[in-house]
Structure formats: structure tokens, C-alpha cells
Structure 1
Amino acid sequence: MMKQFFALVRGHSHEAAEAVVDRNALVILRQQVRDCADAIAAARRAVAIAIAQNDQEIVQFKKLVARIEDLEQRTVAALEQGRNELAREAAETIALLEAERDASDAAQKTFGTEIERLKRIVRASEMRLRELQRGQRIVAAVDSTQRLRESAPGSSLSALRDAEATLLRLRTRQKQIDAAAAAMAEMEQSGDPAAVSEKLAAAGCGMPLKSSADTVLERLASKIARPA
């Protein structure tokens, strides 16, 4: 019985932890992406340091080669002069420098191979990070959309419907006001003799009450055509 009780407690704890993770999955993802970006930035710095150290090793190697060449020339000169003891001392120094040169050359090769491997890892990691960042932006947009859809029975879409209804009422009221104003103007004109005369004249019934551009042109043309 106790085993079942402990299993029940562990099961509830596991499900509660999963529910917390699910609710905060986007926050967790953002932090994980930041952690990945920090790790890749640290890796880039490490590769840059390794490249700088390898460059220093190359400079040291070149100095060793130059020193060996110089000592070899001087050793040959000492042998030619019969100064064998001095030549032996120089030869021992050359042997030590050659061992150091060979070690530097081997270190450069190992360092170069490792640097190229690290560069490939960093480049691949950067590509994966960019893919993660794109995916993060997509899931963030989807999450916002899903939250809006989940809240549809509540305030979000309800507020949209309320706003649309208010807009419809405003438009309807404005149309009613415009129609009432037009009707009032029509009624005012129907009882005004001057307005009735203007309406008849505009319809071509009788002489026009106002001069138009055509009537002005006809009058001026008749004056020109009239003999002096």
C-alpha cells in the first residue's frame, strides 16, 4: 500500500512538473537559445585565442630556424679555423635548437588541425543556432495566435465583436442623420416659391433664372455678329 502511495505522489509530482514546463515552454526555449548563443560566443573566443597562440608559435618557429641557420654558418667558420671545441659547443646548441624547432613544427601541425576542427564545430553550431532562433520566432508567433484563439470565448474576440457593433451603430446613425437632413431640405424647398421656380427653370420649363456660360457666350457672339 505504501509503495502505491509513494508511486501516486511521484506521479502527481511528475505531472505537475510537466504541466509547469509546458506552460513555460516558450520562456524555457528563449533561455536555452540565450545559453546556446553564449556558449557559441565563448567557443568563438576560444578559437580566436588558439589561432593567436598558433600564430605566436609560427613566429617562434621562424626565429628558431633563423638562429639555427646563423649558428650553422658560424660553426662552419669555426671548423674552418680549426677551433673544434668551439665548434662542438655550437653543434650542441644547434642540436638543442633543432629539437625545439621540431617540437614547434609538430605543435603547429597539431594546433592547425585542432583549430580547423574547432572552426567547423563553431560554424555548424552557428548554423544550428540561427535555425533555433528562426524556430523560436515562429513558435512565439504561433503561441500568440493560439492564445488569442484560446481566449475567443472571453474578452479578446468579444471586444472585437463589441467594437464592430459600435462601428455599425455609428454608421447607421450617420446615415439616418444624413437622410433626415436631406428630407428637411426637401420639405423646406417644397414650400418656397423661389425654390420651385428654380427647379422648374433647371428642368427647362420657361426662361432660365440664372445666366450660364452658354447663354453668356451666345449673347456676346450675337453682339459681334450684329452690324455696327
Structure 2
Amino acid sequence: MLKQFFALVRGRSHEAAEAVVDRNALVILRQQIRDCAEAIAAARRAVAIAIAQNDQEVQQHKKLVDRIEDLEKRTVAALEQEQNELAREAAETIALLEAERTASEDAQKNFGTEIERLKRIVRASEMRLRDLQRGQRIAAAADKTQRLRETAPGSTLSALQDAEETLSRLRARQKQIDAAAAAMAEMEQTGDPAAMSEKLAAAGCGAPLRNSADAVLERLAKRVSRPA
């Protein structure tokens, strides 16, 4: 019985932990992506340092080659002058430098191979990171829509319907106000004798109440044509 109790406790703890992880999956994913981005940035810095070190090794190798060439010329001159002891001492130095040159060449080769390998790893990691970031954005959008659908869907639909009804009532009220204003204007014009006179004059019934531009031009033209 005691073993079963402990198994139950462990099972409940495991399920509770999984439920917490599920509820906070997006938060966990964002943090994991940030951790990946930091790791990739650190890897890029490491590659840059390796490239710089390889460049230093190349420069050191060039100096060794130049030094060996100089010593060889001087050793030949010593042999020509029959300074054999000095020539032997120089030859020993050349042998040491040649060993160092060989070690430098091996180091450059290893550096080059390792740098290319690290570059491939960084490039592949960057592509995977971009895929993760795109997936995270899609997952975040899906999570929001799912929450809208799952969190009290009845109340959400009810709120949408209420808003639509409010808009319909507002539009109907605005139409009523516009119709009432038009009716009032029509009644005011109907009961106003001056308005009726203007309406009849505009229809060509009787003399116009206001001079038109044509009438003014006609009157002024008569003045011009009248003899002084």
C-alpha cells in the first residue's frame, strides 16, 4: 500500500509538472530560443577568434620563411669564406626554424579544417534558429486564436452580437433624425410665403425675385449703347 501511495504522489507530481509546462509552453519556447541565439552568438565569436588566431599563425609562418631564407644565404656566405664552425652553428639554427615552420604549417592546416567545420555548424544552427523563430511566431498566433475560441466562446459571440445590434440601432436612429430634419425643413418652406414666392419665381411663374447675371449684363449693355 505504501508503494502505491508513493507511486500516486509521483504520478500526480509528474502530471502537475506536465500541465504547468503545457500552460507555459510559449514562455518556455521563447526562453529556449533566446538561449539558442546566445549560444550561436558565442559560437560566431569563437569562430572569429579562431580565424584571427589563424591569421596570426600565417603571419608568423611568413616571418619564419623569411628568416630561414636570410640565414641560408648567410650560411652559404660563411661556407664560401670557410667559416665552417659559424656555418654549422647557423645550420643548427636553420634546422630548428624549419621544424618550427613545419609545426606552423600543420597548425594552419588544422586551423583551416576546424574553422570550416565550425562555420558549417554555425550556418546550420542559424538556419534552425530562424525556423524556430518562425515557428514560434506561428504558434503564438495560433495560441491567441485558440484562447479566443476556448475562453468563454458563448460570451464572446454574445458580445459580438450585442455590438452588431448596437450598431444597427445607431444607424436606424441616425436615419430617423435625418428624416425628421428633412420633414421639418419641408414644412417650414411650405408655411413660409416668402419661400413659396421664391419657389414660384424659380419655376418661372412671374418676375424673378433676384436679378440674374444675364439681366445685369443686359442692363449695363443698354447703358453702353445709349447715346451720350
With the length of structure 2 as denominator, give the TM-score of the two structures. 0.85
Per-residue deviation, 1:204: 4.1
1:20–1:183 distance in 2 versus 1, CA, 3 Å: same
What count of residue pairs does the alignment treat as equivalent?
Answer: 227
Greater CA deviation, 112-121 or 130-139?
130-139
Per-residue deviation, 1:7: 3.2
Per-residue deviation, 1:193: 2.6
User: Contact conserved, 1:151 with 1:157, CA < 8 A, in 2?
Assistant: no
Any unmatched runs of 5+ in structure 1?
A: none
1:194–1:152 distance in 2 versus 1, CA, 3 Å: farther
Amino acid at match of 2:72: E
Per-residue deviation, 1:156: 5.3
Q: Give the Cα separation in 2 of the matches to 1:100 and 1:70.
A: 16
Q: Give the Cα separation in 2 of the matches to 1:85 and 1:50.
A: 43
Per-residue deviation, 1:220: 4.9
Q: Give the Cα separation in 2 of the matches to 1:70 and 1:187.
A: 117
- Map 1:1-228 to 2 at 5 A: 1-151=1-151, 153=153, 158-213=158-213, 219-220=218-219, 223=222
1:89–1:216 distance in 2 versus 1, CA, 3 Å: same
Greater CA deviation, 206-215 or 189-198?
206-215
Q: Give the Cα separation in 2 of the matches to 1:176 and 1:22.
A: 54
1:3–1:190 distance in 2 versus 1, CA, 3 Å: same
Per-residue deviation, 1:129: 1.2
Per-residue deviation, 1:42: 0.3
Amino acid at match of 1:141: A
* Runs of 4 or more above 6 Å deviation: none
Per-residue deviation, 1:161: 4.1
Identity of aligned residues (%): 83
Per-residue deviation, 1:54: 0.8
Question: What is the root-mean-square deviation in Å for CA atoms of aligned residues?
Answer: 2.7
Greater CA deviation, 108-117 or 205-214?
205-214
Report the secondary structure of 1:82's partner residue: coil
With the length of structure 1 as denominator, give the TM-score of the two structures. 0.85
Any unmatched runs of 5+ in structure 2?
A: none
User: Contact conserved, 1:26 with 1:140, CA < 8 A, in 2?
Assistant: yes
User: Contact conserved, 1:64 with 1:101, CA < 8 A, in 2?
Assistant: yes
Q: Give the Cα separation in 2 of the matches to 1:145 and 1:213.
A: 67
Greater CA deviation, 78-87 or 32-41?
78-87
Greater CA deviation, 127-136 or 51-60?
127-136
Greater CA deviation, 150-159 or 30-39?
150-159
